[in-house]
Amino acid sequence: MDRDRLAQALLATFLEELEGHVVSLNRELLALERESVPARMAERVASLLRTLHSVKGAARAASATLVETACHRMEELLEQVRDAGAGTPDVYELCFTTVDALDDAGRRLAAREDLAGSPLETLLPQLERAAGHRAHAPAPARVAPPPSPPPMLTDAVPSPPAAPASVELHPGGGGASPGAEALPVRVSAQKLDALLARSGELRVATLRLEGRADALESVREALAQAREAVLGTPGEQALLRAETELARVTLELAADRRTLGGVATGLDDEVRRARTLSFEEGCEGLERAARDVARSLGRQVRLEIHGGALELDRSLLQGLREPLLHLVRNAVAHGLESPEERQRLGKPDEGRLTLSARLKGSRVEVTVDDDGRGLDLGALREQARARGLRVPESDEETARLVFLAGLSTATQVTQVAGRGVGLDVVRMHVEGLRGSVEVATRPGQGTCFVLDVPLTLSTLRVLLVSAGGQTLALASESVARLVRLTPGEVRDVEGRPAWASGDALVPLASLAEVLGLPPGPPRARRGAVVLAAGSARAVVVVDEVLAEQEALVRSLGHRVRRARHVSAAAVLPDGRLSLLLNPVSLVRAAGGRPAASLFPAPATQRTRRRVVLADDSPTTRALEQSILESAGYEVVACVDGADAWERLQSGGADALVLDVEMPRMDGFALTEAVRASPRFSRLPVVLVTARGKPEDKARGLQAGASAYLVKSAFDPTSLLETLRRLL
């Protein structure tokens, strides 16, 4: 390796190490500043000196002389703190400023800039004076920019530092000797992102293959039916050979699909695990930000992190950094009182700010809680009145005004408050992560912000619906329930439709109208989805509820990133793309056209076919009920086979649609009971189940089922066509 390439490699390694060392120096300095026991202070200083020694050695190898000199002077300054058993505020401030200057120097070197005139060079004389040097040390040699960029560059990130641009992996020691530790490997986050994209493409290919296998099975079944139709003719044998060969190919394809699916899922899981960071790592720099704001305002603050060991995806933590930074700075600037005021109120001089994270199913709840004065609800109402906005009556709605753009209750403009910028940015960032943010305040006791975001940003379970001729996707986690609306359940509230749910009225809108799509035909009963966004609810009326599936989430790109009510694209199992709608935006926009337009004019009633539906899964039961009712059937929904048998005996039916695996009485047993009954022996029975093995199908047909549909290949039209044929 020639001299230039060696210099580039050494500089790249140094810059990569410097990023992590800056985070460590900030963390250790914060701990030292709070420490009051001399013995523990000595331990903190020793840890800082070790880190500075590492930076100094790496800087010497990379010929970054200015960085090496600054680290040496900071070592001398910290040794004085250790010997004195205490440090002054000015000394700590100088140390923090030096760490910021080291971070800035790293970004300049990565951009191939000279350090002449940099904050670090400007700061060096002050460091020398503080360390006891009366004369300036000889000017360090300036570091010339490398002739070409180093192999790995870190993004220029303002303080506080962002999540690491490279991830440290600890490979398993399969071939290592007992007791040997696996050496960590640093992999750039960009490489992991690219690997995740490739594994996502592999999963899409696997999903498409699954669809092809199901289609091939359908062709084989059609061929078997054709052979039965030509039974006894010369073409029967040819058809039989084709059917046998097709069955063999189908089985082999299914086996290959299972193998590929296992590999794709395993690879995807491993890549995601490699991309995870602890919540505490994702919060690096926030404690420093809180400290700096508090110091500039003459306040004291202690930031605590709960649930710090929780492992989260790096991209999610990266997306949360900006909202959390805004909330932390806002809490210190607006929420916490001065030490004198806190003393008068009987509070500790030091304010408390708590960041916590916990899992809630497939979502993560992050809270930012302070023990300050709480929101000034009176000032918020005055701000709303001055801007011509509706003034909320409840304190809960008033508190949400803080998320409006341009609204601020600060009495003077400072670097961190008074410009009306911050909390509307928080809302926009969180909603961009398919999440929501809520606020609760306690006058004189503090304010709590709750951020609710999905656990992963790349895969999602979605509910597919049709509206205006389009197939659209809604995150299943945002779907509270599925309902079938009749005119009597819709109320007109101040000129806007609402769904009467018990004692509550939920805003209602046509999804097609909200999205600007053509309206569907009026129907006597309308399928609708109840969406939940935080504590808010809304009902969106759809043309049809289609299915619930696992989907991959893909960005729309910068050109359509701001499309109204759309957050991303969902890649469906068959490879098709569907727009993923933003539930928060839809809930906010709910309440459109008059309720009368959703339903046709009253007409002469006609007799409808009655179907008894039994499935112990509430989601599947609601989905199938929606499909059947959309086709005009009267549906009696039951939670299991025993319930269905009782309802059948009391009210009769024209057909049964049953799951197989149900408590009390399964679908096989219920089918046998129906066939043994003189009253219902000729009743059509359709089994819809996840059990797709040939022996399960044989058992179902042997029990007397009229048709057997497998959920993995389930299509609404197949169910409706089956019932139409049987009835």
**By the 8 A CB rule, do 123 and 102 touch?**
no
> Does position 305 have pLDDT exceeding 90, yes or no?
yes
> Does position 169 have pLDDT exceeding 80, yes or no?
no
pLDDT of residue 189: 66
Question: Which tens digits make up the pLDDT trace of 21-55?
Answer: 888 898 889 889 888 888 888 888 888 898 898 88
- pLDDT interval class at 158 (50, 70, 90): very low
Burial class (CB in 10 A: 0-12, 13-18, 19+), 580: buried
Question: Which tens digits make up the pLDDT trace of 615-663?
Answer: 988 888 888 898 898 888 999 999 999 999 999 998 899 999 999 989 8
Regarding predicted confidence, which is higher, 592 or 716?
716
> Does position 178 have pLDDT exceeding 60, yes or no?
no
pLDDT of residue 474: 92
Question: Which tens digits make up the pLDDT trace of 545-555?
Answer: 888 887 878 77
Q: What are phi and psi of 95, to 5 degrees?
A: -65, -45
Nearest partner of 587 among 542, 548, 539, 624, judged by Cα: 539
**Token couple for 543:** 């043309």
- Number of neighbouring beta carbons within 10 Å of residue 696: 17
pLDDT of residue 613: 94
> Does position 595 have pLDDT exceeding 60, yes or no?
no
Say which DSSP state 87 is in.
-
> How many helices (H) and strands (E) would you count in the chain?
21, 25
Q: Where in 371-518 does DSSP place strands (E)?
A: 436-442, 446-454, 459-467, 470-475, 479-485, 490-493, 496-501, 504-510
> Rounded to an integer, what distance in angstroms lies between the CA atom of residue 718 and that of residue 643?
25
pLDDT of residue 14: 82
Q: At which residue do the structure tokens 């961009």 appear?
A: 432
- Within 13 A of 696's CA, how many CA atoms are on the CB side? 15
All residues at 6 or more sequence positions from 723 whose CB lies less than 8 Å from its CB, including other chains: 609, 611, 628, 631, 633, 655, 657, 684, 686
**Token couple for 142:** 């300036």
Q: What's the pTM value of the predicted model, to 2 decimals?
A: 0.60
pLDDT of residue 326: 92
- pLDDT interval class at 558 (50, 70, 90): low
All residues at 6 or more sequence positions from 396 whose CB lies less than 8 Å from its CB, including other chains: 440
How far lies 553's CA from each of 120, 195, 305, 463, 570, in Å? 44, 16, 30, 13, 5
Question: Which tens digits make up the pLDDT trace of 252-264?
Answer: 887 877 787 777 7
How far lies 448's CA from each of 355, 374, 375, 392, 583, in Å? 10, 9, 10, 20, 23
Average pLDDT over residues 475-489: 85
> Does position 479 have pLDDT exceeding 80, yes or no?
yes
Strand, coil or helix: 283: coil
- pLDDT interval class at 216 (50, 70, 90): confident
pLDDT of residue 168: 58
Regarding predicted confidence, which is higher, 465 or 519?
465
> Does position 704 have pLDDT exceeding 70, yes or no?
yes
pLDDT of residue 133: 58
pLDDT of residue 623: 87
> Rounded to an integer, what distance in angstroms lies between the CA atom of residue 246 and that of residue 227?
13
pLDDT of residue 304: 93
> Mean pLDDT across the chain, nearest whole number?
80
Question: Which tens digits make up the pLDDT trace of 341-379?
Answer: 999 999 999 999 999 999 887 789 999 999 999 998 988
- pLDDT interval class at 182 (50, 70, 90): very low
Question: Which tens digits make up the pLDDT trace of 493-539?
Answer: 555 677 877 667 788 888 988 888 888 777 778 889 999 887 788 99
Instruction: State the DSSP string of 676-695.
Output: H-TTTTT--EEEEES--SHH
Regarding predicted confidence, which is higher, 235 or 252?
252
